[in-house]
Structures are given as structure tokens and as C-alpha cells.
Amino acid sequence: MHEKVAELLDLMRLERLEDNLFRGQSRDIGTRFVFGGQVLGQALGAAQRTVETTRLAHSLHAYFLRAGDIDHPIVYQVDQTRDGGSFSARRVTAIQHGQPIFVMSASFHRAEPGLQHQMSPPDVPKPEDLPERQPLPPEALAKLSPKTQRWLTTRGAFEFRPVYPRDELAPTKRPPNQQIWFRLSDQIDDDPALHQALLAYASDFHLIGTSTLPHAVSYLQPNVRMASLDHALWFHRPLRVDEWLLYACDSPSMQDSRGLARGSIYTRDGVLVASTAQEGLVRIDNDAG
């Protein structure tokens, strides 16, 4: 198994401290603080372990309250809010250094038959027809901080292939939408709850960045500060993160230093498996170098 995939799977395995209390480790992937997708995936995994296995998550709504410390574990406290005949509700608080850094409400549902429809996916090239991500030239990489260099040069657990790549060092103005194919780099077990947790992890990549496209700004610019404020995720149909998925993102609004982005996640066969929405902070410091 690919080393980074094994590390990510280990990251999703939480230590159970009490019936409703779990501890997860943090991983430095080159971001300044704990990656938001890590907290999303771990919180969902903690909640799932308090729900009967026949019920899977169908939605979650989360707020990021404080930046997470990469060098310390995170404790997840689960409130078993309700178990009904078909649905279970959970509330999760992520705690670090004695303070809540994240809260999430999640709902779980047992599968049942009913009406179905979905929006069609965008018409884009298949992932195998797109090039792999090209490394930055050494002279461009040398201008970035060591942590950012590690972020850009280390192959992670997921492979991403944007349909229309952009140069993050010299961005140009584009319409507020993008499409990215992604998948886990190795095959994993069939556990549907694990695949959901890993999708929650991956759904935090690229989403809020969509709101910056019309403004020709990039997270690599020293005067740009970006952070997730909240995150919503709806699971519609069974999915596998170790098979290609298309992330179709758009941003309907940016105002007051907050950008809103939405995403639809499809299989390569065009099946809509999940939807996302996120508001993020995008601050431009015009005095920064």
C-alpha cells in the first residue's frame, strides 16, 4: 500500500477513551494548521462509531471555531442526540488544549426505497485523458517557505487531476467554477463508513479556492489568508474513494471577505454520490510583502 494512504487510514483510526469520547492524532501535511478535512473525517468517524452499522451518514453540518494545532492530538466528544426508527442524530465537539476547535451535527439513516432523480454531470474529459500534476520549477519552488515546498512536492494519499489547471504562482481571472477528478491512490477495504469519512477528508480540498478564481488570487501569495469557516456535506448514494470521482465546484458569491463555494461529486459513470457547500475566509492584506 502507498505510504501516504497507509498514514491516512491510520489517521482515521481513532482511539476510544470512553463510550462517547475518542482521540485522534494530527498530521502535518504542509499546512500551517491542522487540515480541516482531517477534522471533518475524524469527527464523522467518531460519530459513526456510536451508531448502529446499518445506518450511514446522509448529512453533516460543521463549523471551524479555532485553528488546530498540528503537534497535538484532538479529542472528539460525541453527544448521542437521538436514535429514532429510521434516523440517528449526533453532535460532535472537537477539543484541543481544553477548548472547542470544531463542532459538527450529523444525521444517519438506514437505507430505504423511494423516489430518485439527480442533476447530470458536466461534460468533461475523463481522468485518464488529463495529465498528472506537474511539479513547480526549482527556481519557483525556492521562493516559497519550507513548509509550502513540502506541501507542493509531497505526494499525498489522494491523486488530483484538474480539468483546467491554473498556475497558482501567477493566477489569472477565470469564471468561478472548476472540475477536478480525484481518487485515493490505492484500493482499500469495502467499509462504506470509512469511504464516507475519507470523502469528507477529501471534500475540503479545492472547494473554497473556487471562490478566488474570478479575482486572480492564490493561497500561495503572501498577502492572502484563507481559512474554512464552515462545511456541509450530503451523501446521496454509495461511493468508493479509491475509484475516480469528479468534483464539480462553483462559487455563487464573494463578499465581506467571505466566499461561498458549492460542489457536486460524481462517479466516472455520472452518478451523483455527494454534494458539498462551504463558506471560507479570504482576506487580502494589501500591506503584506
Q: In the predicted model, what is the mean pLDDT of residues 174-178?
A: 97
223, part of any domain: yes
pLDDT of residue 287: 64
Question: Which range, of 41-50, 59-68, 140-149, 251-260, averages the lowest pLDDT?
Answer: 140-149
Assess whether pLDDT exceeds 90 at residue 220.
no
Query: What residues are labeled active site?
Result: 204, 228, 278
126, part of any domain: no
DSSP category for residue 55: E
| CA–CA distances in Å: residue 61 to residues 78, 84, 143, 260 | 14, 19, 38, 15
Which has the closest alpha carbon to 46: 83, 80, 85? Answer: 80
Assess whether pLDDT exceeds 50 at residue 289.
no
**pLDDT, tens digit (0-9, with 9 covering 90-100), for 22-72:** 999 998 877 788 999 999 999 999 999 999 999 999 999 999 999 999 999
pLDDT of residue 283: 94
Q: How confident is the model at residue 153 (pLDDT cuts 50, 70, 90)?
A: low
CATH number of 147's domain: 2.40.160.210
Q: How confident is the model at residue 168 (pLDDT cuts 50, 70, 90)?
A: confident
Residue length of the chain: 289
CB 202 within 8 A of CB 273: no
Which grid coordinates belong to 146?
519550507
CB 38 within 8 A of CB 5: no
At residue 55, what is the residue type? R
At residue 193, what is the residue type? A
Q: In the predicted model, what is the mean pLDDT of residues 146-151?
A: 69
Q: In the predicted model, what is the mean pLDDT of residues 260-286?
A: 96
- With 0-12 / 13-18 / 19 or more C-beta atoms within 10 angstroms meaning exposed / middle / buried, residue 163 is middle
Q: In the predicted model, what is the mean pLDDT of residues 261-272?
A: 98
CA 276 – CA 201 distance, rounded (Å): 12
Q: How many domains does the chain divide into?
A: 1
CB 197 within 8 A of CB 160: no
pLDDT of residue 185: 95
Question: What are the backbone dihedrals phi and psi of residue 283, each rounded to the nearest 5 degrees, phi first?
Answer: -110, 135
Comparing 168 with 255, the larger pLDDT belongs to 255
Comparing 234 with 155, the larger pLDDT belongs to 234
CA 276 – CA 260 distance, rounded (Å): 11
117, part of any domain: no
Q: How many CB atoms lie within 10 A of CB 215?
A: 16
Q: Give the domain range for residue 62.
A: 3-110+132-284
127, part of any domain: no
274, part of any domain: yes
CA 60 – CA 275 distance, rounded (Å): 11
pLDDT of residue 145: 72
pLDDT of residue 151: 64
Q: How confident is the model at residue 78 (pLDDT cuts 50, 70, 90)?
A: very high
pLDDT of residue 285: 86
140, part of any domain: yes
CA 257 – CA 286 distance, rounded (Å): 13
120, part of any domain: no
CB 223 within 8 A of CB 288: yes
122, part of any domain: no
CA 97 – CA 109 distance, rounded (Å): 33
